[in-house]
Amino acid sequence: MNVRGLRGALTRVSAAAAVIMAASAAWAASVPPTVTVSIDSVGVYDNYTKAIEGTPNGDGSYTVGDTGYGNNFTCDWSLVVNPDPSISGNFNLTNVSNTTQGFVLTATLPTGAIVGPTKTGGYLGDVTYTDTNGDGNLSYDPVGSNPLYLSLIDGGAFQPLNVVSGPAFGNGVTVVSSQVSFGLPGLTQPGPGVAANIGVRIQFSLTAHDHVSIPVSFQVEANPAPEPATVVLMGLGLGGLALLRKRA
């Protein structure tokens, strides 16, 4: 093959690889993720579980939300997720029972496989809890030794977060506990690879007939590495350049 023919062949191979890469990315972006959220009362068979497909936002992210009901709670939740992957959003829960209850809120986002080590970051935001029944008694606390926030990778515990809260008194009082985070800004916390999903779990107790609003976030990012098609193109390009130089 002459130099001109070799150049033409390399051009055609490069164009084909680019088409394959673009088609693969378009296919991945066209599949909305299905987020599963569960809400449980601790020690009581009182569960809401729902899997909902995300609605595209036009920027690669998806919005998903619903209102969950149980014997001891109502909880509306709204999340923005990205298959990259990341989860962020808010849970608004009211304890509708007559006693202090423990609750566990879990959100799970399916992902593709991500080779470790990864970069991660997340937060338990400015939590707002309110004495909505006006009895002057309010508390939002951890349940036993469990953290208030726990990020999950493939269902396993990854990074816990806690914040000092405790009781508050006064009719209709509202308390805000300051945000705590890890790996932010910039996703600086090293993490393991991901096989199938990431998630967040919030576990807490809340006084009777009171309300809590809980912002959360968790993001995982692969360390930069060449795409497989890019590696192929680089190999073809280097090989072609070597042949062209040799023939010249």
pTM higher than the cut 0.85: no
Hey, how many other C-beta atoms are within 10 angstroms of the C-beta on 40? Answer: 20
Nearest to 78 by CA among 67, 86, 94: 67
Backbone CA torsion sign across 167, 169, 173, 176: negative
Q: Find the distance separating the first CA and the last CA of the chain, reported in whole Å.
A: 13
CA distance 197 to 80: 15
**Mean pLDDT over the full length of the chain:** 85
> CA 6: distance to chain centroid?
47
Query: CB-based contacts of 107: which residues, under 8 Å, 6+ apart?
Result: 35, 36, 37, 77, 79, 87, 89, 199, 200, 216
List beta partners, residue 236.
none
Entry field: residues in the chain: 248
What's the token pair of residue 209?
């007939």
What are the phi and psi torsion angles at 228 (to 5°)? -55, -45
Between helix 228-247 and helix 3-29 the angle, nearest 10°, is 170
Nearest to 84 by CA among 60, 55, 63: 60
What's the token pair of residue 90?
């808010």
Hey, how many other C-beta atoms are within 10 angstroms of the C-beta on 106? Answer: 18
pLDDT of residue 224: 79
Average pLDDT over residues 198-218: 98
pLDDT digits 0-9 by tens, 106-149: 999 999 999 999 999 999 999 999 999 999 999 999 999 999 99
Hey, how many other C-beta atoms are within 10 angstroms of the C-beta on 132? Answer: 16
**3-class state of residue 161 by DSSP:** strand
DSSP E strands, 15-59 = 34-41, 47-53, 55-56
Indicate the domain borders of the chain.
Answer: 3-24+228-247, 34-222
pLDDT digits 0-9 by tens, 157-202: 999 999 876 678 889 999 999 999 999 999 999 999 999 999 999 9
pLDDT of residue 32: 93
Q: Is there a contact between 241 and 174 (Cβ–Cβ < 8 Å)?
A: no
